Every structure is written in structure tokens, then in C-alpha cells.
Amino acid sequence: MTDTSPADQIRAAAEKLRALATAAAKDSGSPDWIATRHFPDQPDATFTTLWTDSHTVLMRGGGRHRAPYVHAPVGDYIAAMGPTAGLAIAAWLDSAAEDAEQIGADPHALAVARQLLGEESGRA
């Protein structure tokens, strides 16, 4: 295994994430996904529907003796953006927030923050 620079690792991760996101958006028909919680007035309810902004349901199937499924590009993207990636992105945003106070906001960090907060529908 060859050693790669931090910049090369970051570029490779960005390339991988971009490819996964593009494939998932193409497969689902939309880059904008929504999770709707069922029974929002019941705090212990864990039922949600995952769908696109054009109302395409992303989770299919399920039932007795049959697990629900998503198409492979959607599942690959969901797996890539699991909790470990989410925690790493949160740490990056914490660092970017400190930088924003000292040297100004990174426009990409701000775009990610606005996406996560539901304040912007365009992509960074």
C-alpha cells in the first residue's frame, strides 16, 4: 500500500462521495430526500418513510419473512453516509464554525450546514 498525502485522501473521499451521491440521485430520480416520521406526537415511535421530494418511496417491500429493500445505489449511499460519516462531518463543521468566527466562513461548510438545517434546497 502506498502512502498518500492528506490532500490526496480528502480528494479521494470527495470523489467517492460525489460518485455515490450522483448514482443514488440518478437511481432515485431526485437528489432531495425526505424522511417523514409517522406518529410524530408519540416520542417513542420509530416508524418513518424515506422518499424523494417528487414522492418516490425509497424503501420498498417488507412484510412477513421478507426484509424491506432499497436499490443498490441508494443503499450504497446510505451506508456511506452512516453515523460514522455523520460524526466526522459534525466534527468538521465544529472546526469550520471556529474558523468562521476567526477568519470567515468557508462557503462549502456553510452550504453543508444550511442543507442539514433545511434552509437551502440547492446543492453546494
Report whether 23 contacts 76 (CB < 8 A). Answer: yes
Cut 0.85: pTM above it:
no
d(Cα 89, Cα 38) in Å, to the nearest integer? 27
The reported pLDDT for the residue numbered 121 is: 53
Task: Name the burial class of residue 67, with classes exposed (0-12), middle (13-18) and buried (19+) by CB atoms within 10 angstroms of its CB.
Answer: exposed
Residues 89-107: tens digit of each pLDDT: 999 999 999 999 999 999 9
Return the number of other C-beta atoms located less than 10 Å from residue 48's C-beta.
14
The reported pLDDT for the residue numbered 86 is: 92
Residues 31-56: tens digit of each pLDDT: 999 888 888 888 787 778 888 988 88
The reported pLDDT for the residue numbered 80 is: 92
- 61 φ, ψ (degrees, to nearest 5): 70, -150
Report whether 25 contacts 78 (CB < 8 A). Answer: no
